[in-house]
Each structure stands twice: as structure tokens, then as C-alpha cells.
Structure 1
């Protein structure tokens, strides 16, 4: 019993002694950490071949990018284009580890040699083949008798002097005949008004006030020759000549929805009612519809010619001296010839403009495509040289991997080349067909208008 008891005590002492040593060991200074250990804990910088390709982010494109276009939006490599330095690029490739896949090797080569396609691609995406002629059609600039929405206001002088004899009858008879010839060639969908002035009273001083106050619309409506003729038949030469008043009142004859108006004043003399036809012509010409006042003077003397010329000028129109019905008909023929010439000129200028724009677009489409294709060829030339260097420099000696790298680079070149070719060809074709279509439209429109006025002469 005693021996066992002592054994237990000794064992306890040993245990207690061991604990003491352990506590003392904990107080010893910890060893310093190595620089290598600290470096191992720091995040490693990404190697250049591991980084994602930087890409351009184009804005305001008319559509989403295709996968090929996204690939061509990658920013150029360090050794692209004129920056290509084969030896420097090979030195960069020597930094590559020897356990990369063919895809990684090909990607690394493209990071060095990729060309900059983004501007050409954006231009191809934004390419607009639309061709339009900017020339103003004669119906916008010229008093064109066949334009829809035009109102023709005819003011007929019914003063006593219109009863004077002329070669083919009285001046009034010839004026009426000339007006009807004009009505016959106006577009059927135009509107016409006939206003007379000076048709009441007589030429005596006693009737001057009444006559000078007389101006009346005898017809206003669709271009119906029978109704216009019936209205003309009522007119008989009578009194004085209130041209100013007639011009002032004719604004009431022009429909509110008329696109434009052409006012024809047929007279044989000057204002005799103290009116101011020049001032009234200016006022009328300042209206929103901008009417044109053309004056046809029958057998007028020099003083009347001067006044009527001033009225026509104030109304942005023309003065024509007519001594007979034939002269008035000649006037209309000249008008039609003027329009024929205008349409012919519009057609020729339009065709010239369209051809020039078409050629410009065709050249642009071809140039963009050629730029992409040439860059793809240059990129592949540089990439292929580096691919060959992979095995020659001992960077990559596995034939299968090296061969696959070449195939990947070639596929990239084919993709870029085909994109440039197909996209530019499609743009070229659109511009070619669009230009031809507009050319045909202008040609036929100009010819049809020319024929129309030719047959009216």
C-alpha cells in the first residue's frame, strides 16, 4: 500500500513539473515572419495574357451589334499596324507559361497584334444608302399651272375702253376668248375665280363714283369651263377702271386652304379711280399664300404700260403687253415653254446630283470594306509570324497545339475579312439600287411634266 501510494505522488509530481515547462515555453518570443510568406499572402497582379480584352463601347448605333461585330470592337494590340515589332512581340511571348491551351496562346497573340476595326465597323453599321435630290421642283418655285392646291384668280377689266375695236373684234371679245383658252388648259382639280371691275355705270363723270366702286366676283369654284364661260358672257364694257380696288378685293376670292394663288389681271389701261394698285399688289403679295400677280395689258399706251409693270413687279409677277388675242395666246405658250425648260433643267440637275451622291456612297461602301479586309490580312500576317515563333523559339513545341493556334488565328482573319466584304457589298448594293430608283423617278417625273406642257402649247 505504501509503495503504491508513493508511486502515485511521484507521478503527480512529474505531471506538475511538465506543466511548468509548458507555461515557460509560451513566454518565449515568436519567430519573425519571412518576406516570402508576406508576399504569398498579397494578391498577385494579373499577367498581360490573362487580362480581358478592352473593347470600344460605341453609342448611337441604329441596331444591336452582332457577335462578330462585338469581337471586332476589341481595342488594338500593342504591336498592331505600324507599331508591329516582331522581336519585341516574341520577347513578350516568352513570358507565357508552357501549360496554356491553344485558345489561350491564340488569344495572347491577338492581344499583341489585333488591328483597330472599330471606326470602320461603326461606319458600316451606320451606313445610310438613302439618296435624295435636293433640287426644288418647279412646282415649288414657279407659277406652275398644274400644281394641286393652286387657285387661279382672274381679274377682268370691264371699263368702257375695253369696247374698242381690235383686229379680231373688240378688246373685250378677245380677252374673253383668251381667258377661255387659258381655262381649258388649267388642271381639272384647280379652283378658279372670275372677278370684274368697272362694269357698272358709264364712263361719264356722273357715274364715276358708282363705277369706281364696282367690282364683283361672277364665279368662284371648280375649274368648269362651261360655268366660267357663262359668267364671262354676262360681262359688258361699261365704266371706269378701279384696278386697285379689284386687287384689294381679290383676296376674298382665294380659298383659305389654297396652297398658293396666281392672280391674272387683264386690263387695257391705267387706274382711273384714284386707287393705288401698286400698294394693293404689295399687300396681296405679302399674304401667307404669297400670290403672284401677272398683268396682261391690251393695247395700252406708255403711261399704262409703266403703271401695269409696277403693279406686276409689286406682286412678284410679270407684265405682258398684248395687242390681240394671238398675243395673249402667245403669252400662255411662253409660260408653258418656261415651265418645260424649268422641268427639263430640274430633271437634268437632279439626275446629275443623284449620280454624284450614288458614286460617293458606292465609293464609301467599297472603301470601308477594303479597310476592314486589309486590316484583317495585316493582322493575320503578324499573328502568323508570332505563331511560327512559338515553336521556333521553344515557347510551344507541341505540334497539335501550334497547329490549332494557327487555325484559330486563320478563322479570326476569315471572320473579319468576310465581314468587311459582305457588309460593304450589301451597303454598295443598297446604294446602287437606291440611286437607280431615285434616278428613274426623277427622269420620268421630269419627262412627264415636260410632255404635259408640250401638249398644252
Structure 2
């Protein structure tokens, strides 16, 4: 009998049905078919080799199974896998009628030793190679300046103390220069407003009421450094310090369609008009868009530092102490460095997560395919042993039939093996390519964001 190498990937058809076994009749016996089925014929029809193997039910599959996959959903044979008992199986085969076709012999053997493939088949059909990184991008977790719809509200203290001299000029001159440096690197699609307070009257008691009532929006619109500079040129240090009133009025400057808002308060002192900036900061932070209030304390003493810190905390923001223009610019620089680190961390963690998920999916796909292939080899090993036993017992007397039975069993094994190999390889490749695609997306997005903030410094 031929013995083909198992390494050859031959194709064939998995035999799914079988013809009815028939008892041979001697020519001298009369034909009694018109008298109805005999007890012997009824027994043959109910015999194990005539019954179809039961099929596993499948649900929630993303596509319809192929004919071959449906055949692999049949329940395993009595002597499959670890249940294989060669002698018991041979005794069962001795029950077969004489002179069956090669297809009937082959199907009878398969019914006894067929392996259970249904779990692998369903898992391969359901296999989802989709890979997603679960880490939140910095623009979702951090006040990320490049998000469309962000409004930057700048509140500038124009009280008389801002006229005090500093190393690079007056406090006001240095504050204006730092604000313009910041405006210059904001996202072009963002909107900006500039509000001043305490810019009217003087620091005298006589002008206190007028000065404390003074807060005004000098610019509100697109990010235009030239227009913001023109507005800043109008500001002259004058009177008292109504920080609370300025914060309260800021909500008028934030566009109704803004996705978020970041408020920057530049001040050199504490509230001097009897307002409650902490309360106003809490109320503003409770608005629907939840603005963030960052305080830049410019040349402030310890008492002012404490108050401004409380205002910043009430507005879910941060307080930064600045004693010069360089300090203010350093603050903006640190904001961008913080975002650079955030994007770098997001990229690093995302790439690590994607690689791990990709490896898991590839391992799963390979394992499913290998399992089908291994089971097909076990099944054929058992089927071939029974086929040889049938030949020795003389049950299969004709050489042609014996040869055809072996070929049918081999073809079945090769087809199942090929299904496991090709389907497993296909799903492995999908997981590999899908993981690489997401990896590249995260890598380039992280790099682009990092470089964007690097150049803004």
C-alpha cells in the first residue's frame, strides 16, 4: 500500500455523508422487497455506521461557515483522542456488512476516530485582530493647548504697583513682553481674550471706588499677536486691584462654543477692593466648560503668594511665582515641556501595550491553527491503523477498494491540516499587520506632538 509523506500539503474533500450499507443476496434467493423491511434490514438501518454524527450548535458567528467548516463541527467519534482503543474499534468495524464501497469504509472509520475541532473552528471564525491602545491621549487628560476650541483668557493686573521698576524695565513692561511671547506660540486655531483690571483712576482713596469697578476686555477674538500687542499698548498701570471682579467678569469673554478654557491671571499683589477672588474662582470653575485658572504671581510678597495660591487651587489651576520677564517666560516654557513629557509617556506606554496585545493575538492565532493540524495528524494515525487492521482481517478484500480507502482518509487529513495551517496563518498575519499599523500611528502621533511643543519653547 502507498505511503505518502505527511509534509505534502495535498488538498481533498472532507467526506461528509455515506451511502446505506446493503446486504448481498445470493442469486438463488427470491426477491422479497415487496413484502416490506425485514428485522435484519431494520437493524442495519439503525446501525452505528449508518447514523450521522451529531453536530455542535454555533451562535454569534460574524460570518456564515463554509461547507468544510460545517463538517468540522461534527461531534467526535467514540474512539477519538485519548479515548482511542484500537482493539475495541476493530471489533466495531467487524460489524460492517460485506462489500461496502470505499467511501462507506472510509466514513465508518472516520465516525469512530474523528477528532473534535469545533472549538478551534469557532475561535478562528470569531478571531478579532483589532488592537487598540487604552491609554488616554494628553489632550484628553491634560489642558492640552492644541485642542480645537480652546480659549485662552488672559487677565492682566493694571494696578499702580505694576509700574514699579524691575531689572528689565517696569513690571508692566516685562509682563506685556512675556504675554506676547506666549501668544506667539499658541495654536493658530485657538481664541484669545485680554482683560485688564484696576486700570482706571489712581491708587488714592478718593479713586478707589472708580478703580475697583474697572475691568475691561481690550481684545477678544482669533489668535492674532499683532492685535493683542495693540491692545496691550493701551494699558497703563493706574489704581487698585479688583482681582475677584476681574475673574467674575471673565466668563463673559469665553465663547459659548469653546470646548475648554484656560485662564491666566498675571498679578503682582492681593485683592485690594474687598472682593473674594477664591469664591469667584470656584464659581467660574463650576461653569459647564470647567475653565482652569492659572495664576502667575509677579513680584509678590508672602501674603500675596498665599492668596493667589488659594485662588489657583479654587480654579483647579496652579500658582507660579515670577520675579522677572524671564521667570514668566520660563513658566510658559515649562508648560510646553510638561506636555512634551506627557506625549512621550503616552507614546511609550501605548507602544508597549500594543506590542503586548499583538503578541497575545499572534500566539492565539498560531495556537488555534496548530491545534487543528495536530488533531488531524492524530486522527489520521488512528484511522490508518484501523485501515491496516481491516486489510489484515480480510474485511477489505479488493486492492482497489483498500487503496481508495487509504487515499480518502489521507485526503481528509490533508484538507483539515491545510485548513488549520492556512486559517491560522491568515489570522496570525492579520494580528501582526494590525498591531504594526496601530504601533506606527501611536509612534508618529507621539513624535509629531513632541516636536510641536519642542519648537514652541
Per the normalisation by structure 2, the TM-score is 0.89
Match of 2:170 in 1: 170
Query: In the alignment, does 2:154 pair up with 1:149?
Result: no
Deviations 1:247-289 (A, max 9, x none): 2221222222222211111111111222221222222222332
CA offset at residue 229 of structure 1?
A: 1.0
Larger Rg: 1
Deviates more, 1:144-153 or 1:262-271: 144-153
Contact 1:285 1:291 in 2 (8 A): yes
- Partner secondary structure for residue 416 of structure 2: helix
Match of 2:439 in 1: 439
Structure-2 separation of matches of 1:317 and 1:311: 8
Decide whether aligned partners of structure 1 residues 42 and 414 sit closer, same or farther in structure 2, where only a CA change above 3 A counts: closer
Structure-1 separation of matches of 2:110 and 2:162: 93
Match of 2:5 in 1: none
Match of 1:208 in 2: 208
- Partner secondary structure for residue 253 of structure 1: coil
Contact 1:372 1:420 in 2 (8 A): yes
CA offset at residue 38 of structure 1?
A: 10
Structure-2 separation of matches of 1:253 and 1:97: 95
- Partner secondary structure for residue 252 of structure 1: coil
CA offset at residue 191 of structure 1?
A: 0.9
Decide whether aligned partners of structure 1 residues 38 and 360 sit closer, same or farther in structure 2, where only a CA change above 3 A counts: closer
Structure-2 separation of matches of 1:324 and 1:248: 27
Decide whether aligned partners of structure 1 residues 42 and 444 sit closer, same or farther in structure 2, where only a CA change above 3 A counts: closer
Q: What are the within-5 Å matches in structure 2 for residues 12-27 of structure 1?
A: none
CA offset at residue 42 of structure 1?
A: 8.2
Match of 1:15 in 2: none
Q: What are the within-5 Å matches in structure 2 for residues 51-450 of structure 1?
A: 51-450=51-450
CA offset at residue 140 of structure 1?
A: 1.4
Decide whether aligned partners of structure 1 residues 396 and 370 sit closer, same or farther in structure 2, where only a CA change above 3 A counts: same
For structure 2, list consecutive stretches of 5 or more residues without a partner in the other structure.
1-35
Structure-1 separation of matches of 2:455 and 2:279: 38
Deviates more, 1:357-366 or 1:212-221: 212-221
Structure-2 separation of matches of 1:226 and 1:37: 104
CA offset at residue 89 of structure 1?
A: 1.0
Q: Which runs of 4+ in 1 moved over 4 A?
A: 36-45
- Partner secondary structure for residue 252 of structure 2: helix
Structure-1 separation of matches of 2:396 and 2:118: 32
The structure richer in helix per residue is: 1
- Partner secondary structure for residue 412 of structure 2: helix
Structure-2 separation of matches of 1:116 and 1:386: 19
CA offset at residue 185 of structure 1?
A: 0.3
Contact 1:186 1:223 in 2 (8 A): yes
Deviations 1:295-353 (A, max 9, x none): 10111010110111111112221111011101101111111111111111111111111
Contact 1:350 1:442 in 2 (8 A): yes
Match of 1:453 in 2: 453
Structure-2 separation of matches of 1:124 and 1:443: 30
Deviations 1:87-128 (A, max 9, x none): 111111111111322111111111111111111111111111
- Partner secondary structure for residue 87 of structure 2: helix
Structure-2 separation of matches of 1:418 and 1:40: 42
Deviations 1:13-37 (A, max 9, x none): xxxxxxxxxxxxxxxxxxxxxxx99
Deviates more, 1:79-88 or 1:206-215: 206-215
Decide whether aligned partners of structure 1 residues 37 and 108 sit closer, same or farther in structure 2, where only a CA change above 3 A counts: closer
Decide whether aligned partners of structure 1 residues 129 and 392 sit closer, same or farther in structure 2, where only a CA change above 3 A counts: same
CA offset at residue 40 of structure 1?
A: 8.3
Structure-1 separation of matches of 2:37 and 2:401: 36
- Partner secondary structure for residue 296 of structure 2: strand
Contact 1:390 1:397 in 2 (8 A): no
CA offset at residue 189 of structure 1?
A: 0.8
Structure-2 separation of matches of 1:43 and 1:241: 106
For structure 1, list consecutive stretches of 5 or more residues without a partner in the other structure.
1-35
